[in-house]
Structure 1
């Protein structure tokens, strides 16, 4: 198994491959970030939790079995990320694993979504992921570490009413693929995690969402299952341990990769039919930021503007 320590890749340290190393998880206050932080801590890693909700972050950090710190930071703020990286290195050591997990989603028609809100989804999900990689790249280079980009099956086929989220996740996947080619010669590996239906608060009320409910209903029965954050975190931890180039949550998603050219047309056909049959008042619901984490980010962003 490849080493993720600071030494050469062919000089493995004894013992479990993650124990004693440093992991950074963005969006760690709740959901997948919280569950993954817990699993990495249980695997013996020192974990730095980064997010917007300081009190929630502190509660999560205090519940972890291992050594941890929490840093309240907006991942779209380059200076805040640089400060976070310096603090992680000073208090825990150089990061060996960095997980770009922070993300938000907005549901609603493009033409009724405020430009600032649409831009915020892109900024957090795509620009924030790139900023996270940039801030921690010196540490990952020194540790010959592993950067994991959390992507989504939203990158497989874009859904109407979710234009910003789908565009940002497709962009994040492309960014990670490009970064992989740049960093691998120097010993830094880049992984991409593809997540399907996961039981975070983003999915609260999924059956009331005209597009998401339709997509889920038209999928094969096994593909409709909503997986718990703990289950997804276990898959992610297993992939991080192996420094996997691709992590599929659930694992059967790997068999969908060869079929990806078919998905955009299939999704478009299903949603076009559904949207035509829906009463217009069902499609005129207010634009909504999905999940408590996304709403906390948007509220903080509106009340605390900063130069990026």
Structure 2
């Protein structure tokens, strides 16, 4: 952050981190707390939030665990009011919480579709809007956690890809609105990270040819890098490696990547625990030959 103290003398800056109980959210919260920021940890499950809050306090930091269903508009309003009353105005809003729904769209219950869109896209938009008065008043910051799928949509991750692409567009447009108001916005595009959300995928990947080379990033390292990018005032935080190459290839030669993804769809489905329909359906543009 640009500073670790609020305008009110002696009070730490306040950061709200969604999905702060595990994975990247926990990593971001710990990195912020180490720099003197008071972190508000938000998520559905009380236990992991409480554990991270205790970890922060054990290291001399300030933390508040607030289990909240962020898809509930009234709950969002109460959350923001409680943070303001107990800790003061918000300086930093980190949107990390996400649902990873995988498998063919035809197999996704409507409730899963709606929950994924709500958690991954609607909540960041609505919560940002709700927090803007504080963020503008404090010349604050917003962090959106995107994904490689923000740029490269993956089969059997259609919902996740769509919401992360939407978050990417939302953030890049909103940045121009917020800059004149003194609010900085950062979008992070972390690599595949060793979070509970992808634990099962990691185990299945190791059963695939070459799967032993599948090494997700450490969430603590990812969180630290995001906070460093925030302090540096960057607009985006990218990583290198294979996912960066895939992103570049999709930008330069999207049809080639489409063919590659279609050819690798069964392997990807196996990693996700999804079942591929048995009927072979060629891609409409004629570029979908199976490359197996």
TM over 0.5: yes
Match of 2:155 among 145, 151, 160: 160
Match of 1:81 among 61, 76, 80: 76
The answer to whether 1:54 aligns with 2:46 is: yes
The answer to whether 1:261 aligns with 2:251 is: yes
How far apart, CA to CA, are the structure 2 residues paired with 1:32 and 1:248? Answer: 14
**Residue equivalent to 1:44:** 36
**Residue equivalent to 1:183:** 178
Describe the superposition over 1:43-64 as per-residue Cα deviations: whole angstroms up to 9, x where unpaired: 1111111110012212211220
Gaps of 5+ in 1: 8-12, 286-308
| Alpha-carbon distance, 1:76 to partner | 1.6
Q: TM-score, normalised by structure 1?
A: 0.77
Match of 2:101 among 99, 106, 109: 106
1:193·1:249 contact (CA, 8 Å) conserved in 2? no
| Alpha-carbon distance, 1:206 to partner | 2.5
2:146 alignment partner, SS class = strand
The answer to whether 1:138 aligns with 2:129 is: no
How far apart, CA to CA, are the structure 1 residues paired with 2:113 and 2:25? Answer: 23
How far apart, CA to CA, are the structure 2 residues paired with 1:153 and 1:278? Answer: 15
Give the CA RMSD over aligned residues: 3.3
How far apart, CA to CA, are the structure 2 residues paired with 1:36 and 1:100? Answer: 11
Match of 2:275 among 280, 284, 291: 284
The answer to whether 1:240 aligns with 2:235 is: no
**Residue equivalent to 2:289:** none
| Alpha-carbon distance, 1:119 to partner | 1.8
**Residue equivalent to 2:24:** 32
* 1:189-208 correspondence runs (5 A): 189-206=184-201
Q: TM-score, normalised by structure 2?
A: 0.81
1:226 alignment partner, SS class = coil
2:5·2:12 contact (CA, 8 Å) conserved in 1? no
1:107 alignment partner, SS class = coil
2:156·2:269 contact (CA, 8 Å) conserved in 1? no
CA change 1:252–1:141 in 2 (3 A) is farther
**Residue equivalent to 1:304:** none
How far apart, CA to CA, are the structure 1 residues paired with 2:242 and 2:228? Answer: 15
| Alpha-carbon distance, 1:272 to partner | 1.3
Gaps of 5+ in 2: 277-292
2:238 alignment partner, SS class = strand
The answer to whether 1:230 aligns with 2:220 is: yes
How far apart, CA to CA, are the structure 2 residues paired with 1:232 and 1:112? Answer: 32
